[in-house]
Each structure stands twice: as C-alpha cells, then as structure tokens.
Structure 1
Amino acid sequence: MNLRQLCSTLLPFLLIACQGVHSEQKPLALPQEPLVQVYFNHTESSQYQETLRPQQRNGDDLEQQIITAISTSKSSVDIAVQELRLPKIAQALVERQKAGVKVRVILENTYNHPLNESPPRKTPREAAKYDELRTQSDRNSDGQISAQEANQGDALLILRNAKVRVIDDTADGSKGSDLMHHKFIIVDDRTLIVTSANFTSSDIHGDISNPQSTGNANNLVKIDSLELAALFTQEFNLMWGKSPLFGLKKPFRPPQQVQVGNTTIDVQFSPTSPTSPWSQSTNGLIAKTLTTSSQSVNLALFVFSDQNIANTLEQQSLHNVQIRAVIDRDFIYRPYSEALDMMGVSLSNKCKYEANNHPWQKAITTVGVPKLLKGDLLHHKFAVIDNSAVITGSHNWSEAANSSNDEALLVIHSPTVAAHYQQEFERLYAEGQLGLPEAITQKIQKAQRQCSKS
C-alpha cells in the first residue's frame, strides 16, 4: 500500500478521532456584534473567578458586565430589577453617585426589605431568599449578622446608607403591581443592559450555601443605542415620575422597531390590558415572530403557559418547522404547561383542565428538561428562529407576564446574535431529558381514572 492509499484509508478514522477530541474541549468564543453583545453565565467558552464564593468556574461573569457598565457612567444610571442582592453592584452605584452621577433604582416591593426589616407575609420561596441573604452576609460564618457584616453584605443597606434613592411598585400608593419583573439598566442614556437574571447570587453565580451550584441559567444582552435606550428610559420614567405608574395603570405601549448598526430590534413592554386585542400584546408579538419561521424554532424557557403561543407553534410544526424546547423542570409538567400540549397530552388539576386546552394532534418528542446541577433553574426566556432572530428579555411566556407584570421583550434580528443563543440552546438540549417521563405518564393515567369515577 502506497502513502496515498494509506492516507485515504486512515483519514476517516483520523477525522472521527479529532472530532472526539474537539468535543471534549471548550467551544470557541463566538464573534460578537459590536453594538449588540450577549453573555451567558453557563457558557463553556469562558471562565471567571467568583467573589462571593471564591472559586473558578465556567461562564460569563454577568455581575462584572453590570458593574463595568455602571462604573463607566458619567451622568446617569437607571436600574429597574425585581431583586438586587449583590453588594458589589450596590457599591458600584454608591461610588458613581458620590462622583456626581444621578442614580435611580426601582425594585419589586417584595424584595425591597434589607436584613434589618422583616418583610410582611413571606412565602416559603421568599423566606428561602432571605435565608440565603443572611448566609451571604455572615462573613465569619458564626450564625450571627453583625452591623458591620450587614452594612457590607446587604446591598439594600449599602444603598440606603448612601442615600441612593430606591422605590418599588408601591410608590403609586397601591399594594404593588402583580410583579415588577423588569431586569434592565440604562447608563448615560445610551448603554442598555437587558437580562433574564435578577441581581442575586443564585441567579448569576450560584447558591451561597451550595458550592456545587452554578446559578440559574441566564443570559444578558448589552446594547449601544441612543434610540433604544430612550425607549427604555420612557418606560422607566412611567414608574419613577411624580405620579408613578405600574402594571395595568400604564398606557398601552405598542411594539417599536429600532435599527442598531446592522441589527434590527423590536421592543415591547408589558403589561397589556386583557381587554385589548391579544395580537397587540407582548405575547402577540412573540406569536407574530414565531410565524416568520420556515425552518426551526428552538426554545429555552423558564415557564411556558400561554395557549395562543402554543397554538401558533403547532401550526408552524404542521408546516414542517422543527420545534425543539427545553423548559425548567419545576414548570414543564404542571397542568398549565404548554409543553404537555406539545407532547400531545393533558394533565387535569382536580379534574379540571386549562381553559381552551389543546394537545397537539401531531405530538413531538423534542421537548424536555435540561440537565442542571441540584438547586439550579433554567431561567432563560428565549427562542431562536431560523438561526437568524432571537426573542429574549425578562418576559416569561405566560398570561401573567403578558397582562399583569412589568416586563420587557426584545426581538433581535441578527444571525450573529442568534448564533450565541443557538449555542446555549444546543448545550442545554444535548444532555436534556426529552419526551414524557414514565412517571408523568402514570400521573396522567391515574388522574384520568380518578376523574372518570367522579
């Protein structure tokens, strides 16, 4: 056998071997759009050193992206976020206010209570969050929070001590909107950060009390655009003005489109009144965007409970669009989950089914839960359409997000940006548990038997 024949014989095996080696290596960092950059706290293409839990880990440091943006501010920083518990972010805000920068912060009222205040009517989830805050602030791990520890570890106390003005969704004189769920920052009326993450250790880095946790899977997009920042400033000012407006007290804000360099971005804010046409709502914009798909739709969602969106996806599936989805384990198999529709089944809640429930006639098996470390959640709210557009933001695909909560939704038309989200989706999907687990099948059958008797 001559050299050429030998090379021809060995080449396929060499390629397979090289592919195997490459699969074990971390993926290469993808190119970014200059004006629209995206980051993921679970990406395998980068690493960073945590500060609250001093350890090296995979991921983009979303907290540092936020701190860097704040630290570059010259005139103003506006933050609207459901929950802010990271002390270094608070310290960065205090430093900029001392430098003469105008700092304004809006929170969800449930989480506008520092350690020295007891929030009213804590749910088990809220109580767990305050326990996590206590653990985070207890620097010497003696089980007690000294005044010094609280002043250094409690972000809200840091802001209050520096007299940084913070309001919440009770500023309108109400008991609060259903949920002030925004997660955005505007710096100097130009730089915009929109993320799915709350500013907490559990949403960005991991649970303080669980060293194995790497945080809830989240993404962050940073955009350089005067025009888009102006639209978010309008939304912020509705909540901050002399007569603050939250939830359904706000006027209807239709979708608007902005050109950012070579990238087109659609934006819409929630909520939309249930009396308005659904097609004009934020969920309506999601559905409208999904109807443009001709090849594929890939979903990574915390919650998916909007029936109309599920019906839209079914029609796309019937037109040979490949639909794949990973949904958080805590929500995917609940009776109201549209993932069940996609898999062609229904689960009753005390023998009652969701209104207009519609299991798909041609069920799909490309729906499942991602493999995450114990305690971590899939907190994304994104979809990738035809590898060319992305739906993202703070907006869960639910009725509450659509018609009750304060939310922001972006549709980013950019293959470069879409590639980042697609890489994150493929990472989650590759090790996901797909299809209907036997335990859920048995649960559905048991409910059917019990309901038929009653």
Structure 2
Amino acid sequence: MTLKDLEKILTESLQDFKLDQSEKIKFKELSETLTDDQVGFIKNRAFDLSRPFVEQGGELAVRVHNWLERVIKAIQPVQSGVQIKSSAYFSPGKDCRNNIIRLIKGAKKTVSICVFTISDNKITQAIMDAHNRGIDVSIISDNDKANDRGSDIYQLMDKGLNVILDDSPYHMHHKFMLVDSRVLLSGSFNWTRSASDVNQENILISYDDDLVSLFNQNFEKLKRSFKA
C-alpha cells in the first residue's frame, strides 16, 4: 500500500469527524502490515489534518481531537502483545540525567524539548550530538533563564539548533520532552547540574499514546505562539 493510499483512507475517515467501527477495523488490520515509516506517516498526517480544526477551538475541535486519538490508537502496532510500561526516576543521583541522555541518543527522527532551562553540559552535548547526526531537534525554553550564567541555550542557538524562547513577562516553566512522537519524558527535573547533584527531583517516562498526543499538541501550540 502506497503513502497516497494511506492518506486517502485517513482523509475519508475525517469527513464526518469520527472513526466508525468499519474504519477502526480497517486501521487495525493495516497496523499488522504497516512498516514503522508508514505508521509514522499516518501519525504525522493525522496531526496535520486535525491541526486547522483544533486551532479554531469549540465543539468541532473536541470532535477532531477525539478522532485523532482514535486513529493513533487504531494504528499503533502492538508487538507480541507486550505493552511498554511507564517508568519513573529520581534525584539526587544520575538516573534522571542518564535517562534523558539515553532517550536523546535513541531518537530516530525527532526530539522536541520544552524546558525551563538547560545548563547540564552532558545533556547539552547529547542534544548537539543528536542534531549533528541529522535528528530534527526543536527546543522551547524560558527567555529570562537563557541569560543566566551557565545557561547553554545560546550555545545551542549558535550551533544552529532550532531554539524558540518565550516572549511573555511570565516564565515558560514546562519540563518535558517528546522523542519520535512516541515517548514522553516529563517531571520536576530541571536540566541543570544541581538537579542531579543535590535537588529532590523526578522524571516520568511514558509511552501512552493519549499523553504523547496531548503533549505534542501543546508543544506545537507553544511553538506557534512564541514564533508569532
């Protein structure tokens, strides 16, 4: 099946803003034969098709969002009936930092980072390494914290990475990352040396499609907002 065929199925299912039973069955049957690239194509195209309606807001946005969630669930391949479990890590200690770096190193296509600040040189190096091997890295961060001594934000900008700073008088205080639009990392952990060395912090890693979808939509919303 070609990408054009997949797009046609997707577009037809959006016409009534719902995924009926026959369409669910069709997507589930497809999921057993699709390659990883085809699954990624459907996910990305579904986000693209839903975005104009979501931006309009209102009841229609809710219906389209529900459609998007059902499509993602239907085409998400399940391997050997095994579901990847969520995991949590805590600091002080190296666990939080090491798992952030592990996910960045394991990225195949995209890394979307939305954090208050970045000043841990080991994490910064992992981000630059990902960029240098062709991963599409996008970063949203706080404009005030970018000026702090030790911040690596402007260094990342100078290396050619796509870095967007908020333009509000308030703080962009999120701390989350999406990898390949399928893994979510979130928690209290600031991407700083002190967060690993002395602070009481946490991260949660989740493969839940609904959570990944919600955080992905918020990331895109913030990106558009701060670019405007």
Amino acid at match of 1:267: A
Query: Which structure carries more strand by proportion?
Result: 1
List gaps (5 residues or longer) in structure 1.
Answer: 1-18, 34-260, 273-279, 345-359, 435-454
TM-score under structure 2 length normalisation: 0.64
8 Å contact kept, 2:143–2:167: no
**Residue of structure 2 aligned with 1:398, choices 184, 192, 215:** 192
- Counterparts of 2:52 and 2:124, CA distance in 1: 39
> Within the alignment, does 1:377 sit opposite 2:171 as a pair?
yes
Q: How does 1:177-192 map to 2 (within 5 A)?
A: none
Change (3 A) 1:404 1:426: same
8 Å contact kept, 1:327–1:368: yes
Amino acid at match of 1:386: D
Q: Report the equivalent of 1:308.
A: 122
Amino acid at match of 1:310: T
- Counterparts of 1:316 and 1:306, CA distance in 2: 16
Query: Which structure carries more helix by proportion?
Result: 2
RCO higher in 1 or 2 (8 Å CA, sep ≥ 6)?
2
Q: Report the equivalent of 2:62.
A: 28
- Counterparts of 2:155 and 2:88, CA distance in 1: 28
**Residue of structure 2 aligned with 1:326, choices 106, 128, 140:** 140
Q: Report the equivalent of 1:417.
A: 211
**Residue of structure 1 aligned with 2:153, choices 330, 339, 350:** 339
Q: Report the equivalent of 1:270.
A: 91
Spell out, residue by residue over 1:377-434, the C-alpha distance to the aligned partner (whole angstroms, 9 max, x if none). Answer: 2111000100000110111111111111111111112333211111010010012249
- Counterparts of 1:21 and 1:301, CA distance in 2: 26
Spell out, residue by residue over 1:110-169, the C-alpha distance to the aligned partner (whole angstroms, 9 max, x if none). Answer: xxxxxxxxxxxxxxxxxxxxxxxxxxxxxxxxxxxxxxxxxxxxxxxxxxxxxxxxxxxx
Spell out, residue by residue over 1:274-300, the C-alpha distance to the aligned partner (whole angstroms, 9 max, x if none). Answer: xxxxxx432111101111111111111
8 Å contact kept, 2:182–2:207: yes
Amino acid at match of 1:268: Y
- Name the % identity: 21
SS of 2:211 mapped into structure 1: helix
List gaps (5 residues or longer) in structure 2.
Answer: 1-49, 70-81
Rg larger in structure: 1
Amino acid at match of 2:195: A
Count of residues paired in the alignment = 163
Amino acid at match of 2:134: N
Change (3 A) 1:379 1:415: same
Q: Report the equivalent of 1:429.
A: 223
- Counterparts of 1:406 and 1:296, CA distance in 2: 29
Amino acid at match of 1:414: D
- Counterparts of 2:200 and 2:103, CA distance in 1: 21
Q: How does 1:201-212 map to 2 (within 5 A)?
A: none
- Counterparts of 1:369 and 1:409, CA distance in 2: 23
SS of 2:85 mapped into structure 1: strand
SS of 2:118 mapped into structure 1: coil
SS of 2:196 mapped into structure 1: helix
Q: How does 1:70-89 map to 2 (within 5 A)?
A: none
Change (3 A) 1:21 1:419: closer
- Counterparts of 2:97 and 2:132, CA distance in 1: 21
8 Å contact kept, 2:117–2:153: no
CA RMSD of aligned residues (A): 2.8
- Counterparts of 2:174 and 2:224, CA distance in 1: 16
8 Å contact kept, 1:371–1:431: no
Amino acid at match of 2:99: L
In the TM superposition, residue 263 of structure 1 has moved relative to its aligned partner by 4.8
Spell out, residue by residue over 1:292-319, the C-alpha distance to the aligned partner (whole angstroms, 9 max, x if none). Answer: 1111111111121111111101111111
SS of 1:293 mapped into structure 2: coil
